[in-house]
């Protein structure tokens, strides 16, 4: 088979073919996406307007919010539009761009969560050396490393798909372009591509999950040496991180730590790490973090005072 592409338009089957279900989903995901944007934008503004970015933890948190906005925006707007559209179509270039965005921002978030775990490890286990280890330049290099790691991973994923020849059905049993559903549409044998995809994404998902579990286990064990107040603060922060890790990595591991096969539940599982997790992050971090809540109150108080002064 040649490498030319006969199919230039793909059709998503979406989450459901039931019109009433789609209308309910439209309202639900529209609300969810709006809250995702507002919640994460609030965290970004709070970190920078409240001068919290000088602390490595909040510096990383602001970047997590940026990545969450981008990850959610890679799938949610298209899903929302498709829920009220007669035909759920996407062009080949748009499909490749969506695949790139989902894997780039998804993998960047994986590496960013590892960096945040390392930051908490240094803060709790080596508090006297925290600022000398996590200085601003090193934090910026760690952030850059997460973006580079995500980019390399995505190039591998994209290279598996762009070499495929699509000449049969153009229906994708999903609500966004991902590697597994696209491999099913290819005309040629995709065994090698499936193995490479599983080795790449699966290793990153499962390997990172194991690293994070070990990291937080070490941190929790070390808390025995802390004071009661120190343990309370550390547990509050680590508890938020662990919640994010479980919610994000559970679905990712299910999706990518297996051979080139797809299940009916894949679409609903994917909703968790592409749409649900980005809205949970601001909720988890703000509701359990006193400093963030206080910073938000100060910013709102200043805004109200300014508006009263203007009047």
160 and 197 Cβ atoms separated by less than 8 Å: yes
Q: Are 54 and 110 in contact (CB under 8 A)?
A: no
- Which residues is 84 bridged to in the sheet? none
> Which residues of the chain are modeled with pLDDT < 50?
1-5, 308
Predicted pLDDT at 262: 62
User: How is residue 12 annotated by DSSP?
Assistant: E
Looking at residue 225, its pLDDT comes to 73
- pLDDT at res. 260: 59
List alpha helices for the chain, DSSP H.
19-49, 56-82, 92-125, 130-133, 136-162, 179-185, 191-197, 203-222, 228-256, 266-271, 277-287, 290-310
Q: What is the per-residue pLDDT for 82? A: 95
Secondary structure of residue 9 in the 3-state scheme? strand
pLDDT tens sequence across 88-111 = 999 999 999 999 999 999 999 999
**Between 1.25.40.420, 1.20.1070.10, 3.40.640.10, 3.90.380.10, what CATH number should domain 9-300 receive?**
1.20.1070.10
pTM, full prediction: 0.89
């Amino acid at each position: 088979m040649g490498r030319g592409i006969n199919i230039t338009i793909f059709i998503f089957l979406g989450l459901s073919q039931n019109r009433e279900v789609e209308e309910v989903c439209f309202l639900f995901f529209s609300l969810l996406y709006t809250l995702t944007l507002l919640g994460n934008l609030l965290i970004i503004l709070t970190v920078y307007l409240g001068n919290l970015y000088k602390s490595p933890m909040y510096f990383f948190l602001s970047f997590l919010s940026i990545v969450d906005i981008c990850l959610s925006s890679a799938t949610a707007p298209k899903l929302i539009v498709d829920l009220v559209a007669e035909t759920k179509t996407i062009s080949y270039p748009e499909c490749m761009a969506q695949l790139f965005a989902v894997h780039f921002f998804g993998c960047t978030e994986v590496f960013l969560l590892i960096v945040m775990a390392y930051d908490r490890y240094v803060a709790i286990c080596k508090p006297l050396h925290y600022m000398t280890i996590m200085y601003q330049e090193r934090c910026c290099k760690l952030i850059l490393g997460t973006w580079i790691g995500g980019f390399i991973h995505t190039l591998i994923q994209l290279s598996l798909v762009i070499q495929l020849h699509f000449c049969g059905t153009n229906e994708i049993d999903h609500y966004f372009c991902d590697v597994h559903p696209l491999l099913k549409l290819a005309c040629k044998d995709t065994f090698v591509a499936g193995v490479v995809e599983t080795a790449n994404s699966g290793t990153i998902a499962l390997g990172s999950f194991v690293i994070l579990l070990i990291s937080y286990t070490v941190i929790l064990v070390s808390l025995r040496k802390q004071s009661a107040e120190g343990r309370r603060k550390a547990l509050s922060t680590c508890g938020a991180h662990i919640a994010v890790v479980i919610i994000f990595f559970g679905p990712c591991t299910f999706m990518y730590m297996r051979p080139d096969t797809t299940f009916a539940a894949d679409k609903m599982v994917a909703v968790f790490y592409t749409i649900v997790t980005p809205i949970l992050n601001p909720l988890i971090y703000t509701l359990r973090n006193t400093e963030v809540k206080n910073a938000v109150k100060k910013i709102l108080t200043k805004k109200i005072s300014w508006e009263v002064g203007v009047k």
